[in-house]
Amino acid sequence: MTRFAALLAAALTITLGGTAMAENAHDFSFKTIDGQPLLLSEYKGKAVLVVNTASFCGYTPQYKGLQSLWEDYKDKGLVVLGVPANDFGAQEPGSNAEIKDFCESKYDVTFPLASKEVVKGSKAHPFYKWAAATLGEGMAPKWNFHKYLVDADGNLVAAFPTTLEPKSKEIVAAVNKVLAK
C-alpha cells in the first residue's frame, strides 16, 4: 500500500503541475537566468519578493526600484527574485542571455534572476499555480511586474499589482513587517 500511495502522490503532483504536495514556497524551484538550479528552499529564513518581469513593458523602469529595494534590504534578509515572462503583450521575447544583458547593462540589476517562465494559465510555472491557488485566482498576475511576498518560513503573505512601485509605502511596510518576525 505504501508504494501505491507514493505512486498516487507522484501522479497527482504531475497532474496538478507540481503543486499537489506543496505546503509553501520553499517546495518550489526555478532555474537561474544562467541555467543553474535555484531552489527557493535556499532562501529559508529570508523574505522573498517574486516579481514577473519583462524588458519591453511600460513598467520595465520598475527594475530600478527593485534594485534599490534589493540594495536597501538584502542585508536585512530580503531577496528580490526576478522571473522574466513573455505572457503579457509578448514584451519579453529575448533569450535568457539577452534578458540578463539587458537587466545588467540598462538597470545594473544584481538581484537574482530566474530563467524565462510562463506565469499564467495552465502552463504556468508551479510556483505561480500554487500562488494563485493559495491567494485566489484574483491575485494571479494580470500583467508584468506583479509581485508576491513570501515570508522567511515560505508562507505567501501578500500580492501586489503591477502598478504598485517596488519602493511604495505598501510594499516597504509589508517587507518591514515580514523582516521583523
Q: Which three cell numbers stand for residue 78?
A: 530580503
Annotation marks residue 57 as catalytic: yes
Distance CA 129, CA 102 (A): 28
| Residue of 16, 20, 57, 118 marked catalytic | 57
Q: Is the dihedral of CA 113, 115, 120, 122 positive or negative?
A: negative
Count other C-beta atoms under 10 Å from residue 167's C-beta.
Answer: 15
CA max distance for the chain: 56
Sign of CA dihedral 177, 179, 180, 181: positive
Q: CA–CA separation, 92 vs 175, rounded Å?
A: 27
Query: Catalytic amino acids?
Result: 57
